Amino acid sequence: MAILDRIDDPSDLRQLPVQDLPLVATEIRQLIVEVLSKNGGHLASGLGVVELTIALHYVFDFLKDRLIFDVSHQCYPHKILTGRREKFRSIRLRHGLAGYTNPEESPYDHYLFAHAGTAISTALGMAVGANPDEGRKSVALVGDASIATGVAFEALNHAGVLDSDVLVILNDNEMSISKSVGAFSEYLSKIRAGGLYNEAKDGVHRLIQAIPVVGERIDKSLHDVKDAILNALRPGYLFEALGPRYFGPVNGHDLKHLIAILGDMKRQKGFRLLHVLTEKGYGHPDAVKDPIKWHGVSPKVPPQTPPTLEFARQGEKNWSDVFAETAIARGERDPDLHVITAAMPDNTGVTKFLKRFPDRTHDVGICEQHAVAFASGLAKAGKRPVCAIFSTFLQRAYDQIFHEVALNKVPVVFCLDRAGMVGPDGATHNGTFDIAYMRSFPGIVIMAARDISEFKAMFDLALDCGQPAAIRYPRTYAAHPDREYPARRELLLGLSETLTQGGDAAIVAYGSLLYPVMEAAERLEAEGIRLTVVNARFVRPLDTQRMVDLVTRFEHVFTVEEHSIRGGFSSAVLEELVLARARADRIRPIALPDEFIPHGTRGELLTEFSLSPVAIADRVRRTLQTRSAVAP
């Protein structure tokens, strides 16, 4: 019987002798690889923190103490050890475990987190709010990319003033999803190297003593100055300047040493930071060799063969590839085009642009606020900046979209990747609110393309219109190239296009759901129900005249979108029709419900939330049948 099978709770783990823990680590890794071969998920990040997670649960009781994961995609070992070992086989499946911490699953989880930088803030709040008599510890587990975010520094600065009982564990694997970037990453690299302080100490002495005649005397008299210089180079000095006592760096895969030092950290009080060095993908040779490729994996299990894994592929064509091809083509003829991403160059397609135009590509790290403000500055200097950022992650830069872009009418282009349902990553990653938050500001052109060629036209329009502009697109490209639809109309700012003419009802699709709508229309036409189908193209400026015409001609005008029903395309249509004193009561919205959409495959979610071709056709059919039933 495997040791892991006897661990139903961290209290079981703490009954084991330390020498048995490496075997537990091995078994956890085996289980993660086995399950992810079937379900897909975040592989390299979880494998890298197995020993650290074991050590944390061995030393602390996190039913009493509090453990907050930053991002939390590295929480698979934590889930396995906290009573979810058997359920782990359901991870990222519909109605199964979430791919991130989730307080609905376990008292060991406190947030449904999948963004970076906030663990220190929330752990600090828990520490300040705790009853001092309970002796409760707050632990924040933060990655080396996350700790460079602005909000993390804000939390460090505040915690340093409060000196609350918070332990920050810096999990330093030199990676975010892609390679960590920036001056702070370089600082951590110097700490890892270990020679910075001693080399500087010898160097300062040699430099001063080399001064002719007076060097020896100056060397002795400048003792305090030298100490100040050397302190600035001492490992962890930058952290300690913000408040925490710094410890480390320590080997994050040495369980015995980790348990000893965490035990010491537990006995201490105040604001501490433990710097732990780990290897992303540890224990899996391929993941160690290429942690970027193996950060996320999709299932690949041929029948009757051992489980294997491949890096995540979401279909033969995905929208990040379309973005990359389009940006490179424009970059070839436009030397002012600059592309910006926030620590997601591979997932957004920016890496391909980087290889062709390294001087015009900017990965600013997990700093979306800075990315947008930086883009604004580029535009003010006469460049054409494009921010390629996930829909949900751009929410962090809401204030910069307002101030630095919209308010000042600066022509920054936003390419909103993963707009709509992304699948197994779930509620934290589903881009179902971007229309609402982008269209709340005046002057931003907001578009969504039906397919590749329309996206390319929109990309050029966005760069050339002289206004802030946004293009939203989902993760996968789901058009049907084998189908013959009417030729597209020229893309003109604010104008929709009519694809089919029918007399029974109208249906207006925005972006990604145009082709499912066309398929639904074909199904209904086979039943004798003929629809006028419109490709909206724009939510701002909206083709208001087209909408007025439709509600004047048809009793039922359906709007279809992959966005929350609140604040999205249908809301924009209703608002404009009310202002135009037109028949807004004839709009029939088909959209996602006013809730956070859970994890599951894209197909499952489209079906469950009535956005599949079959469901769209059924909604139209039932509505028209109801009309017929009540007709005199």
Residues 218 and 179 in one domain: no
Amino acid letter, residue 364: V
Q: Of the residues 186, 208, 234, which one is the last residue of a structural domain?
A: 234
Residues 152 and 91 in one domain: yes
Which helix (H) or strand (E) segment holds residue 553: the answer is helix 544-553
Residue 349, domain member (yes or no): yes
**Number of structural domains, the chain?**
4
Tell me the mean pLDDT in the region 399-407.
91
Res 581 pLDDT > 90 = yes
Res 196 pLDDT > 80 = no
Contact 180, 365 (CB under 8 A): yes
Residues 160 and 289 in one domain: yes
Residues 106 and 10 in one domain: yes
Distance CA 253, CA 174 (A): 15
Residues 94 and 206 in one domain: no
pLDDT digit string (tens) for 1-58? 689 989 999 999 999 999 999 999 999 999 988 888 888 877 788 888 999 999 999 9
pTM: 0.74
Residue 285, domain member (yes or no): yes
Of 346, 389, 391, which is closest to residue 177 (Cα–Cα)? 346
In percent, the amount of the chain with pLDDT more than 70 equals 81
Distance CA 490, CA 474 (A): 23
Contact 102, 91 (CB under 8 A): no
Residue 313, domain member (yes or no): no
Distance CA 146, CA 152 (A): 7
Q: Of the residues 213, 234, 255, which one is the last residue of a structural domain?
A: 234
Res 219 pLDDT > 60 = no
Residues 205 and 270 in one domain: no
pLDDT score at 289: 61
Residue 311, domain member (yes or no): no
Within 440-487, residue ranges assigned H as helices are 452-464
Res 572 pLDDT > 90 = yes
pLDDT score at 201: 45
Residues 25 and 136 in one domain: yes
Residues 364 and 291 in one domain: no
**Domain of 215?**
195-234
φ and ψ at residue 273, rounded to 5 degrees: -130, 120
User: How far apart, in Å, are the Cα atoms of 516 and each of 117, 417, 508, 560, 597?
Assistant: 38, 20, 12, 10, 20
Bond into 474 cis (ω within 30): no
Distance CA 605, CA 41 (A): 18
Residues 172 and 199 in one domain: no
Tell me the mean pLDDT in the region 455-461.
96
Q: Which residues pair with 275 in a beta bridge?
A: 170
Residues 287 and 356 in one domain: no
pLDDT digit string (tens) for 421-435? 887 887 888 889 999
Name the least confident of 124-138, 313-327, 475-489.
475-489
pLDDT score at 180: 53
Residues 286 and 370 in one domain: no
Res 580 pLDDT > 50 = yes
- Report residue 287 as tokens: 């993941």
SS3 letters across 15-79: CCCHHHHHHHHHHHHHHHHHHHHHHCEECHHHHHCHHHHHHHHHHCCCCCCEEEECCCCCCHHHH
pLDDT score at 630: 45
Q: Of the residues 405, 438, 472, which one is the last residue of a structural domain?
A: 472
pLDDT score at 478: 54
Distance CA 323, CA 506 (A): 31
Residue 485, domain member (yes or no): no
More confident residue, 351 or 154: 351
CATH number of the domain to which 609 belongs? 3.40.50.920
What is the side-by-side strand order in the sheet with 271-277?
A: 66-69, 138-143, 166-172, 271-277, 245-251
Residue 479, domain member (yes or no): no
- Report residue 40 as tokens: 């897909």
Q: Quickly state the pLDDT bin for 147 (edges 50, 70, 90).
A: confident
Contact 334, 463 (CB under 8 A): yes
- Report residue 38 as tokens: 């079937």
- Catalytic residue annotation: 280, 368, 396
Q: Say which residues have a Cβ less than 8 Å from residue 286's Cβ, sequence separation at least 6.
A: 294, 309
More confident residue, 560 or 601: 560
Q: Say which residues have a Cβ less than 8 Å from residue 420's Cβ, sequence separation at least 6.
A: 391, 430, 431, 432, 472, 474, 475, 511, 512, 562, 563
Residue 170, domain member (yes or no): yes
Of 596, 502, 513, which is closest to residue 550 (Cα–Cα)? 502
Pairing of strands 361-363, 337-341: parallel
φ and ψ at residue 54, rounded to 5 degrees: -60, -45
Residue 308, domain member (yes or no): no
Among positive and negative, which fits the CA dihedral 585, 579, 431, 498?
positive
Residues 57 and 86 in one domain: yes
Q: What is the DSSP letter of 527?
A: T
pLDDT digit string (tens) for 286-312? 666 665 665 556 665 433 333 443 333
Res 509 pLDDT > 80 = yes
CATH number of the domain to which 288 belongs? 3.40.50.970
More confident residue, 3 or 176: 3
pLDDT score at 167: 94
